[in-house]
Structure 1
Amino acid sequence: MKVEVQGLSYGVKGVPIIEGVDFRIHPGEFVGIIGPNGSGKSTLLKNIYRVLEPQAGWISLDGRPLAELTHKETAQRMAVVSQETSSAFDFTVRDIVLMGRHPHKRMFAADTREDEALVSQSLERVGMETYARRSFSSLSGGEKQRVLIARALAQQSQFLIMDEPTNHLDVRYQLQMMDLVKTLGITALSALHDLNMACFFCDRLIVMHAGQVHASGTPEEVMSAELLRQVFGVNAQLAVHPVTRKLNITYFPESLQLHLSPKGALIS
């Protein structure tokens, strides 16, 4: 699915949170949104998945304006894994994942064998198949996040939005979830805090700073020691990892005085 965002702006009480955001995601791309806290990442995503309504600009999915789609049509095309993992009611894990099938069903339609099979497969893919009858509210934060990813898988949408999907997950499941998304072959957009994870898994990065797109491109095109100082306020060295051949970032505290080139190489 192709996704286009043009001139997107949103603010509260006259104070802009995001302003004039433009980008395009090509079908099958995994694009990461990075930036410090308060840069507008979550607000941008909430405008795209329709929790918030843009005050200016537009969004389109495969050339069709998002504002013209019903919420059911949107859910058939777009799945969301957000940071919020609480529920007003106490559902089982199976029930939560089964909700991913609702956009494809008529109201009050019975669950089919296909629905049940998709729920089982989705839970298995995130390592939660033995939790199907557990109460969702009894799970840890990381377990809840894995269940919500299973729900998104059961939804079978061609566009996946994730807001910090690795929050609360230990390293093993962070790698498993990111690798799973990478291998789905669908269009994915994710806000990420872990810059090394973003550089490893994402095809392209969008750097948000003060509510605007500061830079965009491949990790190699975007990431530099100068950008990390300007946007994130940290000193870092960047190098291609000898095993993964991916860009790798090493951070240094301010107390360690290093001389780095703008690209992140040490200067003797």
Structure 2
Amino acid sequence: MKVEVQGLSYGIKGVPIVQDVDLQVNPGEFVGIIGPNGSGKSTLLKNIYRVLKPQAGWISLDGQALSELSYKEAAQRMAVVSQETSSVFDFTVWDIVLMGRHPHKGMFAADTKGDDALVREALDRVGMGDYARRSFSNLSGGEKQRVLISRALAQQSQFLIMDEPTNHLDIRYQLQIMDLVRTLRITALSALHDLNMACYFCDRIIVMNAGQVHASGTPDEVITPELLEEVFGVSAELAVHPVTRRLSITYFPESLQSQFKTKGALLV
């Protein structure tokens, strides 16, 4: 699925949060959105998955305006893993993941053996198969995140949108989830806070700063010492890892920055 955003703007009480954003995600591409806190990443994503309504601009899925789709039609095409996990209702893990099948069913349609098989497979893929009958509200933050990703898998949409999906996860599951998204071969757009994860797993990176697209391109094209200094306010050294052949970032604390700047940033 091809996703396009053109001229998207959104603000609150006259204060702009996202301004004139253009982006494109090609079929099967995994695109990461990075930027400092307050740069507009989550607000941009919420406009795309319709929690917020753009004040200007438009969004399309495979050439069809998102605003022309019903919420059910949009959910058949787009699955969402957001940061919000709280609920006033107490559902089991199984029920949460089963919700991913609702966009494909009629209002009074019963769950089928096929639905059950998809839920079971989705839970197993994120290592939560043994938690199916557990209460979702009693899970840890990392466990909840894995369940929400499992729900998105059960939804079987061709566009996956994620807002910092590795939050609360230990490193094992961070790698597992990011690798899983890569192997799905579907169109994916994700806000990420870990720049090394973005460099390793993403085909392209979009850098947000002050509500606008600051840079866009492959990790090698976008991530430079100058950009990290300008956008994130940090000094760093870049190198191509000898095993993964991917860009790797080493950050320097403030106590070493004066020494680092004297030597200069290196790209190996």
Q: TM-score, normalised by structure 1?
A: 0.97
Q: Deviations over 1:218-244 (max 9, x none)?
A: 000000000000000000000100110
Contact 1:237 1:260 in 2 (8 A): no
CA RMSD between the two structures? 1.3
Once residues 197 and 69 of structure 2 are traced to their aligned partners in structure 1, the CA distance between those partners, rounded to angstroms, is 33
Q: 1:261: Cα distance to partner? A: 8.3
Partner of 2:266: 265
Partner of 2:108: 108
Partner of 1:192: 192
Unaligned runs of 5+ in 1: none
Q: Deviations over 1:183-218 (max 9, x none)?
A: 000000000000000000000000000000000000
Work out whether 1:154 is the aligned partner of 2:117: no
Once residues 149 and 219 of structure 2 are traced to their aligned partners in structure 1, the CA distance between those partners, rounded to angstroms, is 25
Q: 1:259: Cα distance to partner? A: 3.0
Partner of 1:78: 78
Once residues 63 and 225 of structure 2 are traced to their aligned partners in structure 1, the CA distance between those partners, rounded to angstroms, is 37
Once residues 262 and 198 of structure 2 are traced to their aligned partners in structure 1, the CA distance between those partners, rounded to angstroms, is 22
3-state DSSP class of the match of 1:255?
Answer: helix
Between stretches 253-262 and 50-59, larger displacement belongs to 253-262
Matched to 1:30, the amino acid is F
Instruction: Determine which structure has the larger helix proportion and give its number.
Output: 2
Partner of 1:61: 61
Partner of 2:231: 231
Contact 1:66 1:74 in 2 (8 A): yes
Work out whether 1:247 is the aligned partner of 2:247: yes
Q: Deviations over 1:74-107 (max 9, x none)?
A: 0000000000111120000000000000000000
Once residues 113 and 7 of structure 2 are traced to their aligned partners in structure 1, the CA distance between those partners, rounded to angstroms, is 44
3-state DSSP class of the match of 1:258?
Answer: helix
Q: 1:135: Cα distance to partner? A: 0.4
Unaligned runs of 5+ in 2: none
Matched to 1:8, the amino acid is L
Matched to 2:134, the amino acid is R
- The structure-2 alpha-carbon separation of the partners of 1:68 and 1:260, relative to structure 1 and needing over 3 Å to count, comes to farther
- The structure-2 alpha-carbon separation of the partners of 1:113 and 1:23, relative to structure 1 and needing over 3 Å to count, comes to same
Q: 1:158: Cα distance to partner? A: 0.2
Contact 1:225 1:261 in 2 (8 A): no
Work out whether 1:30 is the aligned partner of 2:30: yes
Matched to 1:176, the amino acid is Q
Matched to 1:258, the amino acid is F
Matched to 1:265, the amino acid is L
User: What percentage of residue pairs aligned between the two structures are identical?
Assistant: 80
- The count of corresponding residues between Structure 1 and Structure 2 is 266
Matched to 1:89, the amino acid is F
Q: TM-score, normalised by structure 2?
A: 0.97
Once residues 223 and 100 of structure 1 are traced to their aligned partners in structure 2, the CA distance between those partners, rounded to angstroms, is 36
3-state DSSP class of the match of 1:20?
Answer: strand
Partner of 1:139: 139
